[in-house]
């Protein structure tokens, strides 16, 4: 391993995700292990622009592996989109002697990092941290497993009341344009229908899945809707179904930001730990302008184009199974 990298800056950016703290811990401890200085940059690119930078050591990341959120805080920075903002950020890194960067975040974070690398040639690696699991180049992103478990827990609770009152619930989950959380929380929660952005459903198909007037005579049901659904979110679908038929007693629950919080699952902690170490070792080996990923349980590094030009496709087999089981 070459040891040209001496001072690593680490930050979290974009929407927070459970497991980000475990990733910060892994980066800082792996850095210390390899005798690198590690600096925490607060509030993502915002803190880089403001020079809000703190020295971190192995002890400063104790007792955080189990905590949700991010001790470094996060932001979506508008100023970093400007050339002046990025120049300010670069000058602050220079002032601290930071010679490499590890960013933990989603597609927006990686896009900013790539641009910064092109302009200033600062060696950098992105760790995928987002509940959306929408990055191709990795089977899983940090936070997705926890968010999906949180959604399943909520769906189970909604099911209790739905069944007691014979009601039809539309439950909306996050994921931006990705249907991962919806697909797997729907499958695990026994949903009667799962609406994901990746599939083109018609309203009639939805009505058929709900089984109105069919031999199944289901009145109580759960529909999990991804927020990026092309035929409308939970509110809109509930309204359309109510307009179409008075057969169902309909309620809506939008899970929202509760899916972003909470203690990370074992899976996200282990994933974050592996990826954090891989990011430090990747920088030392000369990996650059790449995202760490996990494929078939092996660490991989993928370039910007490979990650950004493809949608992280849903597993069509899971969708097929969900349909068979929803009768």
Active centre residues (catalytic): 132
Integer Cα distance of 65 and 240 in angstroms? 44
Binder among 132, 172, 268, 287 for ligand F6P (CB under 6 A): 132
Binder among 47, 68, 85, 106 for ligand F6P (CB under 6 A): 106
What 3-state class would DSSP assign to 169? strand
Nearest residue (CB) to ligand F6P, 15 versus 264: 15
Please tell me the count of residues contacting ligand F6P according to CB under 6 A: 10
Query: Is 260 a residue that touches ligand F6P (CB under 6 A)?
Result: yes
Smallest separation, CB 127 to ligand F6P (Å): 15
Smallest separation, CB 327 to ligand F6P (Å): 30
Angle, to 10 degrees, between the axis of helix 180-188 and the axis of helix 144-165?
Answer: 50
Binder among 65, 75, 162, 174 for ligand F6P (CB under 6 A): 174
Integer Cα distance of 85 and 324 in angstroms? 52
Smallest separation, CB 63 to ligand F6P (Å): 26
Residue 296 neighbours by CB under 8 Å, 6+ apart: 139
Binder among 41, 61, 131, 278 for ligand F6P (CB under 6 A): 131
Binder among 130, 149, 185, 253 for ligand F6P (CB under 6 A): 130
Strand order in the sheet with 7-12: 53-56, 37-41, 7-12, 100-105, 124-128, 290-295, 298-303
Residues in region 179-238 near ligand F6P by CB under 6 A: 227
Region for residue 295 given its phi and psi (left: phi exceeds 0; alpha: psi -120 to 50; beta: otherwise):
beta
Integer Cα distance of 281 and 294 in angstroms? 15
Smallest separation, CB 258 to ligand F6P (Å): 11
Choices 172-180, 187-195, 231-239, 266-274 (CB under 6 A): range interacting with ligand F6P? 172-180
Smallest separation, CB 132 to ligand F6P (Å): 5
Smallest separation, CB 131 to ligand F6P (Å): 5
The contact mask relative to ligand F6P for 37-76 (x = CB under 6 A, - = no) is: ----------------------------------------
By CB atoms closer than 10 A (0-12, 13-18, 19+), residue 30 is buried
Q: How many residues does the chain have?
A: 327
Beta carbons of 221 and 166 less than 8 angstroms apart: no
Query: Which ranges constitute the DSSP H helices of the chain?
Result: 20-33, 45-50, 83-96, 107-120, 144-165, 180-188, 203-210, 234-244, 266-285, 304-308, 316-325
Nearest residue (CB) to ligand F6P, 132 versus 287: 132
Query: Is 175 a residue that touches ligand F6P (CB under 6 A)?
Result: yes
Beta carbons of 295 and 139 less than 8 angstroms apart: yes
Query: Is 15 a residue that touches ligand F6P (CB under 6 A)?
Result: yes
Residues making contact with ligand F6P (CB under 6 A): 15, 106, 130-132, 174-176, 227, 260
């Amino acid at each position: 391993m070459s040891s040209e990298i001496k001072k690593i800056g680490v930050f979290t950016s974009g929407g927070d995700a459970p497991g980000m703290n475990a990733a910060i811990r892994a980066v800082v401890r792996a850095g210390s292990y390899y005798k690198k200085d590690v600096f925490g940059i607060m509030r993502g690119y915002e803190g880089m622009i403001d020079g809000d930078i703190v020295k971190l050591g192995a002890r400063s990341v104790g007792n955080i592996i189990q905590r949700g959120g991010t001790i470094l805080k996060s932001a979506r920075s508008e100023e970093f989109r400007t050339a002046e903002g990025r120049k300010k950020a670069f000058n602050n890194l220079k002032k601290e002697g930071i010679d490499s960067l590890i960013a933990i975040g989603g597609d927006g974070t990686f896009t900013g990092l790539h641009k910064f690398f092109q302009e200033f040639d600062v060696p950098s690696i992105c760790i995928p941290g987002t509940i959306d699991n929408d990055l191709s180049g990795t089977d899983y992103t940090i936070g997705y497993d926890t968010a999906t478990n949180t959604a399943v827990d909520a769906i189970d609770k909604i099911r209790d009341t739905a069944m007691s009152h014979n009601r039809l619930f539309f439950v909306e989950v996050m994921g931006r344009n990705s249907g991962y959380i919806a697909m797997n929380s729907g499958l695990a929660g026994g949903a009667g229908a799962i609406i994901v952005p990746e599939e083109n459903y018609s309203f009639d198909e939805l009505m058929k899945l709900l089984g109105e007037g069919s031999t199944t005579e289901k009145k109580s049901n759960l529909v999990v809707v991804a927020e990026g659904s092309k035929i409308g979110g939970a509110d809109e679908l509930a309204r359309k179904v109510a307009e179409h038929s008075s057969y169902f007693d309909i309620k809506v629950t939008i899970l929202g930001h509760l899916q972003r919080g909470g203690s990370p699952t074992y899976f996200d902690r282990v994933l974050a730990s592996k990826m954090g170490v891989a990011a430090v070792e990747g920088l030392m080996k000369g990996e650059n302008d790449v995202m760490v990923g996990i494929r078939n349980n092996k660490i991989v590094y993928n370039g910007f184009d490979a990650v950004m030009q493809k949608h992280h496709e849903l597993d069509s087999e899971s969708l097929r199974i969900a349909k068979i089981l929803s009768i």
